[in-house]
Amino acid sequence: MLKGKRLLLTGLTGQVGGAFAEALAPHNEVWGFARYSASGSQERFAAMGVKTVKGDFATGQFADLPGDFDAVIHLAANTKPGTQEVGMVQNAEGTGLLMHHCRASKAFVHVSTLGVLSEHTDPLRKKSETDEIGGATPHSPNYGPTKTAAEGVARTLCRLYGLPTTIARIHCAYGGPYDDGGLPGGYLTKILERSPIRLSPSRRIHVTPVHEDDMLGHLEPLIAAASVPAFVVHWGGDQPVALEDLANHIGALVGVAPIFEWSEAGNFPNTLVDTTRGASIGMRWNIPWKEGVRRMIQARRPDIALREVG
């Protein structure tokens, strides 16, 4: 756990950022930069001890935000930009404007996505940091390509400013009460609401989910690994699971069987993370996905008595 640091979080009103803010604020000087568009959101984080600053990095509105931090953790992104122009402005240009503003910081962690990579035809082949880039996010076509552009911006400004940078390609993060809880959290909502979960009829799609409690422990090695030129690492879990099995396990825990809709349209790509490089910098994975799913449900729906499932 990071302690005694001056940290900037973007995207703290989202799922992972909210969990980070809550855990880090008691032990660090945490600044939270966001639009705080939801009613009461700024006050909620201020009550945690976060120094909240309202602004918009995509338009260069930094107000009274300092520019010198021990580490900037840039989580904010538009994961569903309706057009390529929106995605380029918010994901790519916005990253550059934020790095420029924070160029006096000691480290910058740019959170990217494994969606910048091409999809493997082999569902059990792990994706490494040297795999081909292709922007494979069929569920959000403008997301992967504009996050690829953002990586290019981060790499360039890292070198121009001598700003040590880590590019951490996140994959299938999930956890507690903030936002939608990630992919497993979304499945929980659909199961309880009796809404269909879309799956491919022709193949089993696999992911390696990573719980936010493990991710919190990853922050220190990610910051320590920041370098010039930028250090690139994949940020997912170490246990594969098929989406159908994930949904069925959640359903078994809550006692409600999932409803599946079989369609090829807009499916997630096969994504298994190669954790070799992450492990080499000290990242560790302590929460198996079944335990993580149980924690996720308990955090999001404490009113549900979970069943015992193997």
Q: DSSP characters for 194-260?
A: TPEEEE-SS---EE--EEHHHHHHHHHHHHHT-BSSPEEEEE--S--EEHHHHHHHHHHHHT---EE
The verdict on whether omega for the bond into residue 229 sits within 30 degrees of 0, i.e. cis, is yes
Residue 168's H or E segment, with its range, is: strand 165-170
Tell me the pLDDT tens digit for each residue of 80-107.
999 999 999 999 999 999 999 999 999 9
Question: Do residues 168 and 252 share a domain?
Answer: no
What is the residue-averaged pLDDT of the chain? 95
Count CB atoms within 10 A of the CB of residue 204: 13
Tracing tokens 């740019």 back to the chain, one arrives at: 110
Task: Note whether 32 and 167 are same-domain residues.
Answer: yes
| 121 pLDDT above the threshold of 80 | no
Do 290 and 220 share a domain, yes or no? Answer: no
Note down the domain range covering 199.
Answer: 182-206+240-271+286-300
As for how many domains the chain has, the answer is 2
Angle between helices 212-224 and 15-24 (to 10 degrees): 70
Distance CA 4, CA 107 (A): 15
Q: What is the CATH number of the domain that holds 197?
A: 3.90.25.10
**Which of 112, 106, 118 is CA-nearest to residue 155?**
112
Least confident interval from 124-138, 163-177, 292-306? 124-138
Tokens 């560790």 sit at which residue? 284
State the average pLDDT over residues 191-197. 98
Q: What is the CATH number of the domain that holds 157?
A: 3.40.50.720
103 and 152 inside one domain: yes
- Identify whether residues 61 and 96 lie together within a single domain: yes
